[in-house]
Chain A
C-alpha cells in the first residue's frame, strides 16, 4: 500500500496501479475515455489530466495524465486545481467538436460514458458552430449498429477487438480528424466477442441492434441479475425487460468469472425468450393430435389425478433446468425414479469430470484465474465454440510469458502500449490438439489435428513425458514431436493449465487430461485443470443423480413406469430419434414442462408452460463447480412460471408444496450436503437493506401508471416476489446492493455501464462484499492414480466412417439457435472432410453426400477442409438433424446418387 495525497487529503491506495485507477478506486470523480480496467492505459485521450506536485512545497506542479503515472508513496496530485479542471473541460470540448447533437435519438443516451464525462468535466455549453466532419456507416452484421459520426477517437474499440480479442477484421483507418473505426469493407464482424463493443465504446458508435428493434432507455428497463444459460461457463449477465419482452443482455461484472466481457451467443442469443414458439398456457392433448388449452387450476387438478392413479411416475430432469427444478422433480418422482435427462454416454463423462475435480488434487481455476496461467494445453476442445468466454481468457493467458519481457524492463502491468511494443505479437506457449483447426489456433504456438482417439493418446504421451510413472502411448512421428514440445513447455512453465472437455464424448480424453495435470502437479507445478461441460447446469444435474436417460427408458419398457414427467428437455436432442419414438409409444401419460415447443412436447398429454431464465429464479452450477443464482426478470402476464413452482403443485411433501425458493434450497441442501454452498450463492428472500427491498427498476423508471392504462385506468398492484429480496418496481433501496443482487449498475454521475467502478472494492477488482457465486468443489488432496485407459490407435475404416462433432458458437446451442439475430450467423448443416478423402470418394465441394447414421439417411453438402488429417469426417453438433446423435457415430459415406 502507498499513501497518496489527492488535493491534500491522504488516501491509502494499492502499489503498482496507475493514478487514475487509484483515484477512481478511492471514489474520486475523474474523467477518462481511453483507459479501461481490462484494457489498461495508453494515454491517448488526454482526458484524465491532473496536476502532479514534486512535494508539499511545490505550488505549481505540472499537468500529467493520471492513467500514465504510477502510484508512488507520498505522491501529491490535484484533481480540483483550476488548471487541471480547465484542461479537462477544454480537452473534452475538442474531442466533442465533431460529435453530433443527437443524444435524444441516440441509443446510448442516458447510459453514455461520454455524456457522463462531459457533465463531469464541466463542459456544459458547446461553442463550435461550424460544419462537422461526417462518415458513412457500415453494415456490421445482425448484432451491432454502427454510427461513426459519434466517434471521439478514444481507440478503445480497436484495443478491445484487435488487441484483446485478437480479431482481424476490424481496424482504424485514415488519420488526423478523419479517423474511421470499422471494417475494411461493410460486412459481418466475425469475432465471437464483437458485442462487447457495445459496452467498451464510451459513446454510441457501436450499439446493440437487438435492443434497437424495440428500443427502451436504460432507466425504463426492469432488470435482474442473471446467469447466462447458453453454455456451461455461467457468465454473469444483466437481463432487461419492458412491456413483457426481453430487450437486451448486458455483461454483469463478476471479478471471478466473466469480468467485463461476455460472448456474442450470450449477449445476442436471448431472443428465444420472446419467440413465437414459447408455450404460453397449459395444454392437453387427448385424443392424440387434438390440443386444447387448459386453465392453470384445471391442468394441475388433472395432472394430480393422473399422478395419483399412476402405478409409477418417473421424472426426467435436465441440464438446462435449475437445481431447484430438478430437485422438485426428484421429490415428486422419488430419488430412485429421478433420471438425469442425458444419455448414458454424456452422464458418465460428466460424472468422470466431477470425480476428477473432487479427487485429483489439481485446482480448477475460475475464468478470471485462468488468465494467470502461463502455459496452456488444450486437449480436444474447440473452446471458442463450446465454451466461448473461456477462449477469450485463454488468449490473455497466452500473453503472460511474452509479457515477462516487459516486466524485466520494469514496465508496469497497466502500461498497455509499452507492453505491446515489447512483445511485438510474440506468442506464448498455448498448444491446441483438436480434431480440426479451431478459432483459437491463431493464438497458439503449435497445433495438432487428429482423431479424438489419437488426441487422447497424444495427451497420455505428454503426461508420460512429464512423469514417467504415467502410462505412455506410442505415437506417429509428427505427434511424437508435438507431444515432446508440449511437455517441455508445460514443465518449463510456472503455472501450466490443461483444458479439456466433454465435447468429443471421449472418456479417455478426459482421463488423459487429468493425467497431464496430475503429472505436472507431481512435478511441483502450480497446475490447473479446466473441463468444459455442455450446458448451463450439466454439473449441477450430475451432482444430483447417477441415473441417466436410457435407464428411464428401461423403466417404461419393463412396464414398471406408466407416467413420465419431462422437465425442460427435448429428448430428441439426447438420443437417436428411433429410440425416443419407441419410448413415447410405451410411456403412458407424458407431462412435459418446458418453455419452447419442440418434438418431445408433441408426444405429451399435458404441456405446462415453464419459465426461461428470464421468468424464473434458481441456481445453476458451472463447469468450475460454482453455484450461481439467477433471478426472475419480470412477471409474465400468462401462466408461465418457474418449473419448480409448477412442480410444487404435485409434490406431496408439505415443506415443499408452499415453499419459496429459500425453503426449496433448504430442502435441497439437506438432501445433498455437497450443495450446501448453494445457500450462500445469494442472500435469501428475507434480506433487506434497512427495511427496503432491492428495486429491479432504476428510480427514474417511467410509465408505470400508464403502461396498462388501456386495459384499466387503475394501476394494478405490482407483482410480488416471494423468492428474492428484489422488488418488481423502482421502489426500494437506492445504493449499492449486495453483489449477487445487483440488477443494474448506476451511481450518481455515472449512468453508463462504467458505473460498475462504484460497485468494486477497487476498480477492476472484486465487487463490494465479494464476487457472487460459491464454489462447491475444491481440490483436496490427491487420491487418484494415473488413468491407463489408452484408446487403441485410430484406423480409418472406409465402410464405417467416423463422424466427429464440429461445434459452432451460433447453432450448436439449443435455445440460442432459436433467436432471430443469431440465425443469420448459423451455417447450414454440412459434412466436412479432408481433401484426400474427398478425392478418394469423388466428392466435390457443395456436392451432396449421403450418410447413413443409425438407420437414418441424411444428405449433406460437402465442405473440404485442408486442416483435416483424413480418415474421419465432421458434422456439426446440435442441429435438429444431428442433435440426437451419440457422437462419435459411424456411417457409410458416398456421393448422392442422382
Chain B
C-alpha cells in the first residue's frame, strides 16, 4: 500500500499550514489554525493527524494534543457530517431550549455528545452563541438558527443531507 495516500495532511494542506506560520516568529503559533484546517477537511482530528501535524510544526504530539483537547470545538473523536451545537446557557434556557434539545434527541435518536448511526448528525450543547436576544438558538455547521421553535426543526434538518 502506498503510505502517501494514507496521510491525513496532504501536500496542499501542509503548504497552507506553512503559509500560516510564516506570519509568526514561531511555528507553533499556527497550531490552532492548523487544527481547524484539518477539521475542515476531515471533520475531526485523529491521533494520526496529531502526529503528522507535530512533524510539520516541530512540536511533540503531546504539545499538539494539549491544544487540541483544550478547545471544545476541536473534535478528537469522529463527528457526523453536520454538527449541531445547541446553546444551553441562561437566555436559551429561559426561552425553553430544553424542548428543542429534547425534540432533537428524540428525532435523531441520540443523546448529547453522540452521532446518529448514519453519520449524518452530531449533537453537542454549547455555552452561548452570542445571540441571546434571539434565543433559543443553535448552530449547524456554519449556519446560525435563531428564535427556534420545535415546529421548525424538521425543515431545518432537511437542509443538511
Residue numbers of A with Cβ under 8 A of B are 168-175, 180, 183-185, 424-425
Contact = CB atoms under 8 A, between A and B. Distances in A.
Contacts of A168: 60, 62-63
Interface of A is mostly: loop
B123 interface: no
A184 B65 contact: yes
B63 A171 contact: yes
Interface string B8-30: 00000000000000000110000
Given A184-B62, A425-B26, A175 B70 contact: yes
Nearest to B71: A175
A586 B62 CA distance: 59
B3 interface: no
B5 interface: no
A171 B26 contact: no
Contact of B70 (A169, A174, A183): A174
B69 A175 contact: yes
Contacts of B80: none
A424 B24 CA distance: 12
A184 B70 contact: no
A366 to B, nearest CB: 32
A51 to B, nearest CB: 33
B44 to A, nearest CB: 16
Contact of A175 (B25, B47, B72): B72
Contacts of B62: 168-171, 183-184
Nearest to A176: B72
Given A169-B60, A425-B26, 14 more contacts: A168-B62, A168-B63, A173-B65, A173-B66, A174-B69, A175-B69, A175-B70, A175-B72, A183-B62, A184-B50, A184-B60, A184-B65, A185-B47, A424-B25
B48 to A, nearest CB: 12
A677 to B, nearest CB: 45
Contacts of A425: 26
Contacts of B25: 424
11 contacts: A168-B62, A168-B63, A171-B62, A172-B66, A173-B65, A175-B72, A183-B62, A184-B50, A184-B62, A184-B65, A424-B25
B61 interface: yes
Given A424-B26, A425-B26, A171 B65 contact: yes
Interface of B: 25-26, 47, 50, 60-63, 65-66, 69-72
| Best-buried of B25, B62, B71, B72 by chain A (most CB within 10 Å) | B62
Contacts of A175: 69-72
A252 B47 CA distance: 41
Contacts of A183: 62
A180 B68 CA distance: 13
Nearest to B70: A175
A50 B119 CA distance: 54
Nearest to A174: B69
B26 A184 contact: no
Secondary structure at chain B's binding surface: helix, strand, loop or mixed? helix
A183 B47 CA distance: 13
B47 to A, nearest CB: 8
* Ranked 4 nearest A-B pairs via Cβ: A168-B60, A171-B62, A171-B66, A184-B62
A858 to B, nearest CB: 36
Contact of A184 (B61, B71, B72): B61
Contacts, number: 34
A173 B66 CA distance: 5
A173 B50 CA distance: 13
A425 B24 CA distance: 13
A314 B63 CA distance: 59
Which of B47, B50, B66 has the most C-beta atoms of chain A within 10 angstroms of its own C-beta?
Answer: B66
A762 B101 CA distance: 59
A157 to B, nearest CB: 12
B70 to A, nearest CB: 5
Nearest to A180: B69
Most buried by B among A169, A170, A174, A424: A174
Nearest to B28: A425
Contacts of A172: 66
A444 to B, nearest CB: 15
A425 B70 CA distance: 21
Contacts of B70: 173-175
A175 B69 CA distance: 7
Contacts of B69: 173-175, 180
B100 to A, nearest CB: 24
Contacts of B47: 185
A684 to B, nearest CB: 51
A171 B28 CA distance: 15
A169 B62 CA distance: 6
Nearest to A173: B69
Contacts of B61: 184-185
A454 to B, nearest CB: 28
Contacts of B26: 424-425
Contacts of A174: 69-70
Nearest to A172: B66
A184 B61 CA distance: 6
Contacts of A424: 25-26
A135 to B, nearest CB: 13
Contacts of A171: 60, 62-63, 65-66
A421 to B, nearest CB: 13
Nearest to B63: A171
Nearest to B64: A184
B49 to A, nearest CB: 13
Contacts of A173: 65-66, 69-70
Best-surrounded residue of B25, B60, B72 (most CB of chain A within 10 A): B60
Nearest to A183: B62
Contacts of B60: 168-169, 171, 184
Nearest to A178: B69
B147 to A, nearest CB: 30
A174 B62 CA distance: 12
Contacts of B65: 171, 173, 184
A168 B65 CA distance: 12
A424 B25 CA distance: 9
Contacts of A180: 69
B124 to A, nearest CB: 15
A196 B66 CA distance: 22
A47 B83 CA distance: 40
A844 B62 CA distance: 31
Contacts of B66: 171-173
A171 B54 CA distance: 14
A168 B60 CA distance: 6
A185 B26 CA distance: 25
A184 B68 CA distance: 11
Contacts of A185: 47, 61
Nearest to A170: B62
A184 B62 CA distance: 5
Contacts of A170: 62
Contacts of B71: 175
A757 to B, nearest CB: 31
A866 to B, nearest CB: 15
Contacts of B63: 168, 171
A173 B63 CA distance: 9
A219 B47 CA distance: 44
A174 B65 CA distance: 9
B71 to A, nearest CB: 8
A184 to B, nearest CB: 4
B54 to A, nearest CB: 9
Nearest to B47: A185
A188 to B, nearest CB: 13
A65 B66 CA distance: 27
Contacts of A169: 60, 62
A173 B72 CA distance: 12
A148 to B, nearest CB: 14
B19 to A, nearest CB: 21
A386 B12 CA distance: 44
A179 B70 CA distance: 9
A183 B50 CA distance: 13
